[in-house]
Amino acid sequence: MRCSPPAYPALSSHVGSETDIAWGRKGMGTPSTSEPVGMCSVLAIGSIIANVKSRRGSKIAANVPIYFDTNTPRPFTDPTIPWERGVCPEDHESIKHDHIYLDKTCFGAGCCCLQVTLQARNIDEARVVYDALVPLTPIMMALTASSPVYRGYLADVDCRWNILEESCDDRTEGEKGLKPLEKDQRRLPKSRWSSVDMYLSESKDNRPEYSDVPVPFDEEIYRRLRSHDVDDLVAKHIAHLFVRDPLLVIPNKIEQDDETSTDHFEALQSTNWRSLRLKPPTNGACGWRIEFRTMEVQPTDFENAAMSVFLILLSRAILSFGLNFYLPISKVDENMQRAQRRNAVHGEKFWFRKEVGPTGESVNGASDSRLRATGVDDEYEQMTINEIVNGKGSYLGLIGVVNSYLDSQDTDAIGKLKLKKYLELIKRRADGTLQTPATWMRDFIRSHPAYKQDSVVSRKVNYDLVKAIDEIERGDQHVSELLPAGYVGSSHKGAE
């Protein structure tokens, strides 16, 4: 069976379970109200989980708003939490009514996503692409929304991102601003799993007003980098990583030659889980790369390929046309929250630039000098996902930008036809003729004969959902609300 939801709907769910789960015994990290002992057996991951909890000084607590259906009790309190066992006394303070309670790092780190790594020719190109992709991180997350169920309950969100932020948050109460700071501590506005805080390119389009949120950084690291002729933006970006403590040390790799090895840096960089990651060359032959990290994994290989190809083509169009997607980071953060809401693709509006051509030019060549003559507030407005992707007025939309790029390239007819199939999925999902996986899953659950309109995803409903996803991926079942008519599943590739 092939099934790849970002968050397995029944992960640690005890709804309808007849098994006596081994809560509370010592395992990796701390006791959990819902995670069975031994579920996470990988030593490195177990060490990270334990160190997140140890550093923050309190138990992990992520609360996901419950989806209130017709028969969902108000207030909602998870009846499967074994309060009588008394293994987690601090849960009484952490749990929120009307929320699904997730009390382990595994609930975030156990999610799956679609990460796309883009190769750049050099650091300058990498910084340009990195900056251009920052405002697109929430847009692509909303387009790929696939996570409406947690621990056997329907949630009132469609994406996993905030769960990742909360379940991997190793900040102390002081660093969060909830208590006075202790010695040698500083305020850290965000979890180490969060959206990025600053732009990096030295392009003239990168105005200081865009990086408008606090960026705490290690002053000593910053000074050392500047003394070695690293420019201000990159030095601050690297020093920003070092406000976090390492979460993992590999015993046989402690002694390293830092002149020839980047292992120590990678140990820290790889546990700063941001929406984008700028990846310097490592010990191997790979060059500068940009890792796009917000997209949710899709039910089918076709959808995953479509999202990946779209992002790659868009990055090439950005370089070819010199596109400008700059938006204040505070607005990107606002978009990140909107992108996770239920049916965000059609129910929310997002901050986006009015014109994306260089220095205020639209991609079709029209000039709008007003945008450069005024403050940044006049450069953007709220748009629907359909408008952002498919365009409005003189703005071509992201699909129009990609199509313009393809028209400028020497692409053979067969290759262009295949690419058009991928782009058609993006276009139709944005305009509403195709559903996001999250919307389809929610509709499937709510229309299932065994569902009782109480937000509970029973074992029977979960099984049938997973089975349906498997059949859809294989092409044994076609769902017109989710996939275009020409979709060919993995079991029927020879029929293409």
Say which range, 10-24, 299-313, 372-386, has the weakest mean pLDDT: 10-24
Query: Lowest mean pLDDT: which of 152-166, 277-291, 369-383?
Result: 369-383
Query: Any idea which residue has 């929250």 for tokens?
Result: 337
Which whole-number Å values give the CA distances from 392 to 65, 324, 377, 396, 456, in the listed order? 34, 17, 20, 7, 41
Kindly tell me if the per-residue pLDDT of 370 is higher than 60. no
Tell me the helices (H) and strands (E) count for the chain, helix number first.
19, 11
Say if residue 364's pLDDT is above 70: no
Q: 77 or 438: which carries more pLDDT confidence?
A: 438
Tokens (6 digits) for 469: 């996803």
pLDDT digits (tens, 9 = 90+) for 42-61: 567 778 888 888 899 888 88
How confident is the model over 197-223, as pLDDT tens digits? 999 999 999 999 999 999 999 999 999
Check: pTM over 0.85? Answer yes or no: yes
Average pLDDT over residues 427-434: 98
DSSP assignment of 381-398 equals: EEE-HHHHHH-BTTB-HH
Residue 365: the pLDDT is: 46
In contact, 68 and 144? CB cutoff 8 Å: no
Query: Dihedrals φ, ψ of 313, to 5°?
Result: -65, -40
Confidence class of residue 266 from pLDDT cuts 50, 70 and 90? confident
pLDDT at 69 over 70: yes
Contact at 8 Å (CB) between 369 and 228? no
User: What b-and-e string marks burial along 403-421, b requiring 16 or more CB atoms within 10 Å of the CB?
Assistant: bebbeeeeeeeeeeeebee
pLDDT band of residue 26 (cuts 50, 70, 90) is very low
Q: Give the HSE-up count for residue 253: Cα atoms under 13 Å, Cβ half-sphere.
A: 11
Q: Please check the confidence at residue 148 and state whether its pLDDT lies above 90.
A: yes
Mean local confidence (pLDDT), 284-310: 94
Q: Are strands 149-150 and 153-154 parallel, antiparallel or unpaired?
A: antiparallel
The model's pLDDT over 446-485, given as tens digits with 9 standing for 90+, comes to 999 999 999 999 999 999 999 999 999 999 999 999 999 8
Mean pLDDT of 299-303: 95
Measured distance CA(451)–CA(68) in Å, rounded: 14
Mean pLDDT, rounded, for 23-35: 49
For residues 181 and 474, what is the distance between their CA atoms, to the nearest angstrom? 54
Total number of residues shown for the chain:
496
Distances (CA, A) of 40 to 43, 151, 166, 218, 268: 8, 16, 19, 33, 22
Q: Above 90 in pLDDT, residue 164?
A: yes
CA distance 183 to 456: 46
CA 483 to chain centre: 22
